[in-house]
């Protein structure tokens, strides 16, 4: 059941005070419905056939913002056509900005896909800090207004480095994770509202704007419950494993091979002792946590002269001879950090990863930069140990699901794009987990250089995945990323027809949406974890991580909320309680992330797919041969 507690979350939405305002335009009734518009930059909108009677049957009209011969000047209520009203609000905002501000210096207009105005509030060599406004109709409250948000636009040619991350507020002034991420954004938005609102609003008569964010009631999903050895249940991943041991141990004959340059051998010893639990109180060791000792029978080492393909190939051959058919994990110490590295170092990372994967070997990389940093290993060693354990076939934990016998199909894509943005190769795959978060496998869904062939393959193969699993599962939930194009979504839906009467739901996740929210009662402005705000039209804003009720202190940067939308369901109707139950499983899946303790920014169905797409995309960019990604342990962790 859902927790009874409900809180208020202030959405990044400023509503118009008087909702019954008027919009003016020029219109002409469409006579021939099949006729393309003869007027450039003039769109069609559906309005009442009799404009004096809004209850009459709707008909299409050509709508213009400027005078055109044969068009009638009219003024209509804002409630007649929401899309038209939003367009007119955007036009009014742009017009007002051009009256009182300098275009190109103070603001820029984005009138392509997003109808928003970017206000430049700070300029530096790194890029521009921007506050944006976008007209919006909030279905949950049935109110018009403007969404508002902060964004940092990196300068062209500027590398993505620590300074850029500080400007974007993901890192704090000290270079560490910005625990004040929400409060900092809130402060920037409030300063903007205080300065710009009196200069810009009201846009027209009757369109003044509130200066406070509208609060919506947040429903709270249940706290995640983790299951460990002997089906013991805890609410903490780390403490659960420490007290009860992992769900399934890795094979007793597993082997970890430390690989390092000769001059870095002291660091390999430091890492070894940290994994044994001899170095930091933050990690008691592989044996205490995962029932896997780091004795001589489980550990070996290989020095590397360098990281060239020839050296790596020779090391793989040598390692294969040592390991035989034992589950084996190469653990490589590399002298650069993936967060701050040259393009050549970044390419080297993917080439090395590919070399090992092509021989069926997952890898674990540890940066010497991290080890040299103050407290570098102290807070990351537990995650390194968890990654090694999981890549060697161990199962650390699973979640207590809402739906039993339910397969989650996460859709990923790794299309090859040309410099002009066109796609020259289509590639889609699925990451399969059950609703408890246990990883099953990766399945290729479709790949082709022709869009039609690719879409047909997508339809047939999603049907094939479901049919092949139909004896084992009663329910199938497909998690798709926001960036899936409309034709891809339609191809997926086509594959869901006539697949044996199973309950099938498709949910779309967007981790970079325009929505944000604040808990105004908290100094941190961070909502509680598992907060769920209905936006209307089967859309929700969900905090997969946030404040903890038992410990409301922010210790790391809390990620943005996720915009979640139900876009398909096989049942005739999906109730609000049904939607909440599937959201509960999505929340649970965010806790199934075996890349790290407390790594829970999104469901693994979406997160794993994103990581795999990154690998496949880089392998393809480097011209490396395709590898069999289907029949391996979770190498991407």
Q: For the residues of 335-355, what is the DSSP string, one character each?
A: SS-SSS--HHHHHHHHHHHHH
Q: Reply yes or no on whether the pLDDT at 194 is more than 90.
A: yes
List phi, psi (to 5°) of 263.
-70, -15
For tokens 């360098």, the residue is 306
* Residue 5 exposure: Cα atoms within 13 Å on the Cβ side: 12
Q: What is the pLDDT of residue 379?
A: 84
Q: Is the pLDDT of residue 250 over 70?
A: yes
Please state the rounded mean pLDDT for residues 303-323.
95
**79-109: per-residue pLDDT in tens?**
999 999 999 999 999 999 999 999 999 999 9
Residue 634 has pLDDT above 90, yes or no: no
For the residues 238-260, what does the mean pLDDT come to? 95
Q: Which residues pair with 168 in a beta bridge?
A: none
User: Can you tell me the distance from the alpha carbon of 425 to that of 427, in angstroms, rounded to the nearest whole number?
Assistant: 7
Note the pLDDT tens digit of each residue in 474-490: 899 999 888 788 888 88
Percent of the chain topping pLDDT 70: 98
Lowest mean pLDDT, pick from 130-144, 152-166, 515-529, 563-577: 563-577
Confidence bin at 1 (pLDDT 50/70/90): very low
Model confidence over 110-137: pLDDT tens digits? 887 789 999 999 999 999 999 999 999 9
**How confident is the model at residue 129, as a pLDDT?**
96
Residue pointed to by tokens 């002269």: 305
- Distance, in Å, from the CA atom of 448 to the CA atom of 266, rounded to the nearest integer, reads 48
The sign of the CA dihedral 313, 319, 325, 330 is negative
Mean pLDDT of the chain: 90
Please state, in angstroms and as integers, the Cα–Cα distance from residue 40 to each residue in 44, 64, 66, 542, following that order.
12, 10, 12, 41
pLDDT of residue 9: 95
Indicate the pLDDT class of residue 2, thresholds 50, 70 and 90. Answer: very low
pLDDT computed for residue 123 by the predictor: 95
Q: Which residues, at least 6 apart from 335, have a Cβ–Cβ distance to it below 8 Å? A: 261, 264, 367, 368, 369
- Which H/E stretch holds residue 135? strand 127-138
Instruction: Give backbone dihedrals phi and psi of 300, rounded to 5 degrees, phi first.
Output: -145, 175
Residue 441's DSSP bridge partners are: 432
Handedness of CA 332, 444, 602, 151 (dihedral sign): positive
């Amino acid at each position: 059941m859902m927790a009874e507690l409900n809180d208020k979350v202030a959405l990044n939405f400023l509503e118009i005070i008087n909702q019954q305002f008027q919009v003016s335009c020029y219109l002409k009734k469409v006579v021939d419905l099949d006729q393309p518009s003869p007027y450039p930059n003039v769109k069609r909108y559906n309005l009442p056939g009799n404009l004096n009677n809004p209850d009459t049957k709707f008909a299409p009209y050509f709508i213009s913002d400027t005078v055109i011969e044969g068009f009638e000047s009219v003024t209509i209520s804002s409630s007649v056509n929401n899309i038209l009203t939003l367009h007119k609000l955007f036009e009014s905002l742009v017009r007002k900005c051009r009256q009182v501000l300098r275009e190109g210096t103070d603001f820029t207009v984005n009138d392509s896909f997003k109808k928003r105005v970017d206000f430049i509030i700070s300029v530096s060599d790194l890029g521009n800090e921007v506050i944006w406004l976008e007209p919006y109709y909030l279905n949950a409250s049935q109110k018009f207004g403007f969404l508002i948000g902060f964004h940092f636009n990196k300068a062209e040619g500027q590398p993505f480095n620590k300074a850029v991350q500080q400007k974007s507020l993901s890192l704090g002034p000290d270079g560490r994770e910005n625990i004040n991420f929400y409060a900092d954004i809130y402060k920037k938005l409030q300063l903007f509202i205080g300065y710009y609102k009196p200069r810009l609003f009201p846009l027209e008569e009757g369109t003044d704007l509130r200066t406070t964010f509208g609060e919506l009631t947040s429903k709270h999903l249940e706290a995640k419950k983790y299951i460990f050895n002997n089906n013991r249940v805890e609410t903490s991943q780390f403490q659960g494993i420490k007290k009860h041991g992992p769900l399934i141990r890795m094979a007793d004959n597993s082997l970890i091979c430390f690989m390092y340059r000769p001059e870095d051998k002291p660091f390999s010893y430091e890492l070894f002792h940290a994994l044994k639990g001899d170095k930091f109180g933050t990690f008691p060791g592989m044996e205490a946590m995962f029932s896997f000792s780091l004795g001589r029978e489980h550990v070996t080492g290989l020095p590397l002269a360098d990281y060239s393909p020839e050296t790596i190939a020779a090391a793989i051959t040598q390692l294969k001879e040592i390991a035989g058919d034992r589950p084996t994990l190469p653990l490589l110490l590399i002298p650069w950090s993936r967060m701050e590295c040259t393009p050549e170092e970044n390419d080297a990372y993917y080439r090395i990863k590919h070399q090992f994967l092509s021989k069926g070997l997952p890898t674990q990389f540890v940066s010497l930069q991290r080890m040299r940093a103050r407290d570098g290993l102290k807070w990351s060693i537990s995650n390194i140990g968890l990654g090694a354990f999981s890549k060697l076939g161990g199962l650390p934990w699973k979640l207590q699901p809402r739906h039993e016998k339910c397969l989650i199909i996460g859709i990923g894509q790794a299309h090859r794009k040309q410099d002009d943005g066109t796609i020259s190769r289509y590639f889609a795959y699925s990451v399969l987990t059950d609703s408890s978060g246990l990883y099953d496998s990766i399945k290729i869904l479709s790949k082709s250089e022709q869009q039609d062939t690719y879409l047909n393959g997508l339809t047939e193969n999603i049907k094939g995945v479901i049919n092949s699993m139909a004896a084992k599962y009663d329910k199938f939930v497909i998690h798709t990323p926001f960036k899936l194009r409309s034709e891809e979504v339609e191809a997926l839906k086509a594959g869901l027809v006539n697949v044996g009467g199973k309950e099938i739901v498709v949910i779309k996740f967007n981790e970079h949406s325009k929505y944000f929210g604040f808990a105004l009662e908290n100094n941190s402005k961070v909502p509680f974890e598992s907060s769920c705000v209905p936006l209307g039209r089967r859309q929700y804003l969900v905090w997969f991580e946030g404040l903890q009720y038992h410990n409301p202190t922010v210790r790391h940067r809390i990620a943005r909320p996720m915009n979640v939308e139900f876009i398909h369901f096989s049942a005739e109707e999906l109730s609000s309680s049904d939607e909440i139950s599937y959201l509960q499983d999505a929340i649970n899946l965010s806790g199934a992330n075996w890349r790290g303790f407390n790594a829970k920014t999104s469901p693994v169905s979406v997160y794993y797919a994103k990581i795999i797409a990154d690998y496949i995309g880089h392998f393809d960019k480097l011209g490396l041969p395709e590898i069999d990604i289907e029949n391996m342990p979770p190498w991407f962790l």
